[in-house]
Amino acid sequence: MAAYARTEQHIEVHKFHLWAVVSVAVAALLIQSFLPVYFPRARLLDLPLLITLYFGFSQRNPSSGLLMGMMIGLMQDSLGRSAIGLYGIVKTLVGYLASSFGSRIDVEHPLSRIGLTAAFYLFHQGVFNLIQRVLLGQHEVFFNSTLGIAAGVNALVAVLLFPLLDRLRLPS
Amino acid sequence: MLAVPGRHRSLTLLTFVLVAQVLLIAAQIRSDEHQVRLIRVWAVGTVTPFGRAGTWIVSKIRGTWSGYFALVHTERENQDLKEEMDRLRIRNTQLESEAAEGQRLATLLGFRDTHREAPMLPARVIESSADSSSRVIYINRGERDGIRRNMPVITADGVVGKIFEVFGGASEVLLITDKDSGVGALLAGTRVQGPIGGTGEPFVQMKYVSDDETVTVGQQVLTSGEDRIFPKDLPVGTVTEVKPGSPFKQIRVKPAAHLNSLEEVMVLLTMQESITSSKPASTASDAASGGASSTAAPVKRDR
């Protein structure tokens, strides 16, 4: 994760301590497992996705973004019932694309964070359902009102969460 | 050696990682899914201590709240409770007569006697799935407590699900609302049978009920015992919506158990065998309901 500044495009690449990245990812998975027990509506949240997006947007390195997405996705698979690799594939793609977007457009502004997070959430669910359909023969609806609400909720949480995670950035 | 251009390196890596994961999924489809059990055992073993700690902290916070801070409102509550008690006294008189009737029916159906003899193990819900597409919970009882796969999990309100995976000190419960879940069920009163299937949503669906059958909103749905997992006559839910279909009705059922706010559940430690064998009144229940019903099915301990 080399730190450098692409001054010609005014896009800054941010660095993080490895322990911070790992801790945040693990904490997201733990909270994702624990929170719905007491707050059922927390099921709408996909914290591992938000973490994948955040580090993808910040690090802006497609290789590290996709590897991080893969690790988070595989851990999510291992804590659920889906075939191991299902979330892995989706979050690999999300990590890759988020990193690519992060290096091209401004992802620091709250409005762009809201829009991108909602769009990535719907993309994530769409690809997840597509893989389920193609590889596992399970037919799921591609869009319904719950998905729309969940996309909005995740986008709003992202706007609150990302500034907190910004504090973990190493000074450039 | 062929050099890969820098900007293509990430695309190459992406392709490799995706192909590897597709092959991993394909391997799980081709072979027994329990080949990946070891990964899940490690993952669940790592996470459950945190879940237990979290549950403990939440219960302590709640205890502190109810034991101290909530006392601030005690005086007001006391006044409210006195008023409530007056209302309840009147209501109690009405209910006593209804309860007497209910008691007679319960005895007739043998339902209460059946469940008194069924050994149950209370368990606390410590986590849910990190995978938002599935409806599973984890409980703090596992192989060491005598939990085995396919054991029914219930609450006082109704059916919750079944044990899907057993770990050392924890178990995974597949809720009836999960897409892969199924429960043998029947409609109370008419005894029309049809499996209940999860939808991944908070409600479940009753399938394969002919369009010719009469189904009404508000009708109770009970377990039929045909799935060889759940004992007969446990409440599954209530019919909330009925749509005509061809050839089967589309019946939406609201689960009786509050699956969105489960904190404690009961695991029936015996399979259907001991419950049905200790249930001489099952035929009486069928006779009382006036319809044909399923017979007790043999025990099946594994999926």
Q: Do A33 and B47 touch (CB under 8 A)?
A: yes
CA–CA dist A170, A18 (Å, integer):
11
Nearest alpha-carbon partner for A87 in B31, B39, B21: B21
CA–CA dist A51, A49 (Å, integer):
5
pLDDT at B78: 81
Q: Do B21 and A70 touch (CB under 8 A)?
A: yes
Q: How far is B180 from chain A (nearest CA, A)?
A: 10
Q: How far apart are the first and last CA of chain A?
A: 12
> What residue of A is the nearest CA neighbor of B174?
A81
pLDDT at B285: 37
Q: What is the pTM of this model?
A: 0.68
pLDDT at A60: 83
Record the tokens describing residue A12, joined without a space.
Answer: 């800054």
pLDDT at A5: 40
A11 — contact with chain B (CB < 8 Å)?
no
CB pairs under 8 A between A and B: 131
pLDDT at B34: 54
> What residue of A is the nearest CA neighbor of B178?
A81
| Domains of chain B (ranges, CATH numbers) | 37-67+110-285 (2.40.10.340), 69-109 (no CATH)
Burial (CB count <10 Å: 0-12, 13-18, 19+), residue A160: exposed
A103 — contact with chain B (CB < 8 Å)?
no
Q: How far is A164 from chain B (nearest CA, A)?
A: 22
Mean pLDDT on A114-135: 91
Residue A146: pLDDT band with limits 50, 70, 90: confident
Q: Are A170 and A133 in contact (CB under 8 A)?
A: no
pLDDT < 50 stretches in chain B: 1-2, 104, 107-108, 111-112, 273-303
Looking at residue B210, its amino acid is S
pLDDT at B269: 85
A residues 143-172 lying closer than 8 A (beta carbon) to B: 146
CA–CA dist B241, B249 (Å, integer):
10
Q: Are B237 and B219 in contact (CB under 8 A)?
A: no
pLDDT at B32: 59
Q: How far is B122 from chain A (nearest CA, A)?
A: 17
CA–CA dist B128, B136 (Å, integer):
6
Residue A54 has pLDDT above 60, yes or no: yes
Q: Are A166 and A54 in contact (CB under 8 A)?
A: no
A85 — contact with chain B (CB < 8 Å)?
yes
DSSP secondary-structure letter at B229? S
A52 — contact with chain B (CB < 8 Å)?
no
Q: Do A81 and B164 touch (CB under 8 A)?
A: yes
Record the tokens describing residue A3, joined without a space.
Answer: 């730190």
CB-CB neighbors (< 8 A) of B127 in chain A: 33-34, 37
pLDDT at B6: 61
Buried b (16+ CB within 10 A) or exposed e, B199-228: ebeeebbbeebeeeeebeeebbbbbbbbbb
A21 — contact with chain B (CB < 8 Å)?
no
Complex ipTM tops 0.85:
no
A136 — contact with chain B (CB < 8 Å)?
yes
Strand partners, B268: B120
